Amino acid sequence: MHDPKANRFVRSHLKTRHLVLLVELGRHGSILHAAQAAHLTQPAASKLLGELEHALGVPLFERLPRGVQPTRYGEVMIRRAGAALAEMDAAYQELMELQSGLSGRVAVGTVMTPSTGLLPEAIKRLKATHSRVQVSITVDTSKLLIQHLRNGELDLVIGRILDAESAAELNFEPLTDEPHSLIVRAGHPLMERENLRLEDLACEAWIMPPHGSILRDRLTALFLSHGLDQPVETVETLALPVITNLLLGSDMLVALPQELVLPYLDAGLLAVLPFDLGLRMDAYGIVTRRQHQLSPGAEATLRTLREVAAERYRRRPEPRS
């Protein structure tokens, strides 16, 4: 049941310092450390937290012998407080942009493949017309990027929405899927092997994405569905320079979209192993928050991404066989 008292408190008495305290409590798990980060005394922080819990009628944090831990209600408030503070920062940025022309800062998150082609091309085009817009780029897994987007730490993401809870809060504009190939160094011993089987590949050294990524989950399912153990010798990384250097200097293999290593394939330094893993990834796309007004700089970035994506994926080359 909706509590009018809590509603009056939230609308009339909830202050920025309440929001800051919530975010810092989530970050530090300690009233003392959160108070220091929020430039409050510990008694003042405890009083603010008590006011919130009394007005909302639910416990936001569980008091532990060493610190505090957010309850389910607290997790919601921390996330919403972070988003609210991000909105206030965005409002100030937008005012400054209106005063001085299009500038400001745009935070973009992306999964790996768009980070090597689509996004750099879009940023170059954006800077040609809006040179004062500062762009911050984070490359990570979709799961973490969507979390940062919902928290207000990113303006937009190029990735995937992997759970229904997030989908209710987000807009998704599909761009393309990601065909994956097995990539190895030129002259790799497996290039000469006939009738390769998955059992053979399971014994090799692999470069893997981190646990929690959709590709890692599907590789795991692939081996398990064939009754095979996971590769034992692995390196986990999303860093493309590390991946390419490991491939060039060893007999390791990796499942990647060819687009990521096209210059190395064209130069004959890397090769596509003639084995179809049968992996089909869900389409990635542009993800933004619903009912959130992007700043002018972020809106310009979004428009440019759409333009470049429409051009790139219309003329996409066929994967090598």
Domain architecture of the chain: domains with CATH? 4-79 (1.10.10.10), 101-177+283-314 (3.40.190.10), 181-272 (3.40.190.10)
Which amino acid makes up residue 20? V
d(C-alpha 222, C-alpha 154), whole Å: 33
- Among 159-168, 189-198, 235-244, the minimum mean pLDDT is found in 159-168
Q: What is the predicted pLDDT for the residue at 7?
A: 59
Q: What is the predicted pLDDT for the residue at 137?
A: 95
* CA within 13 Å, CB half, 12: 7
- Among 164-178, 220-234, 247-261, the minimum mean pLDDT is found in 164-178
- Among 82-96, 161-175, 217-231, the minimum mean pLDDT is found in 82-96
Q: What is the predicted pLDDT for the residue at 159?
A: 93
* 1 confidence band (pLDDT: 50, 70, 90): very low
User: Which residue is associated with the tokens 């935070």?
Assistant: 107
Q: What is the predicted pLDDT for the residue at 320?
A: 55
Q: Please give the average per-residue pLDDT across 151-167, as a whole number.
A: 88
Q: Please give the average per-residue pLDDT across 166-184, as a whole number.
A: 88
Q: What is the predicted pLDDT for the residue at 17?
A: 86
208 alpha-carbon distance from chain centroid: 18
At 105 the three-state DSSP class reads: strand
Q: What is the predicted pLDDT for the residue at 57?
A: 86
Q: Please give the average per-residue pLDDT across 186-190, as a whole number.
A: 94
Which amino acid makes up residue 7? N
- Cα Rg of the chain (Å, integer): 24
Arithmetic mean of pLDDT over the chain? 87
Q: Count CB atoms within 10 A of the CB of residue 310.
A: 10
Assess whether pLDDT exceeds 70 at residue 216.
Answer: yes
Contact 227, 156 (CB under 8 A): no
Q: What is the pTM of this model?
A: 0.59
Assess whether pLDDT exceeds 60 at residue 313.
Answer: yes
Of 94-98, 182-186, 220-224, highest mean pLDDT: 182-186
DSSP symbol at 57: T
d(C-alpha 173, C-alpha 179), whole Å: 19
Q: Please give the average per-residue pLDDT across 229-241, as a whole number.
A: 91
Assess whether pLDDT exceeds 60 at residue 315.
Answer: no
Assess whether pLDDT exceeds 50 at residue 20.
Answer: yes
Assess whether pLDDT exceeds 60 at residue 115.
Answer: yes
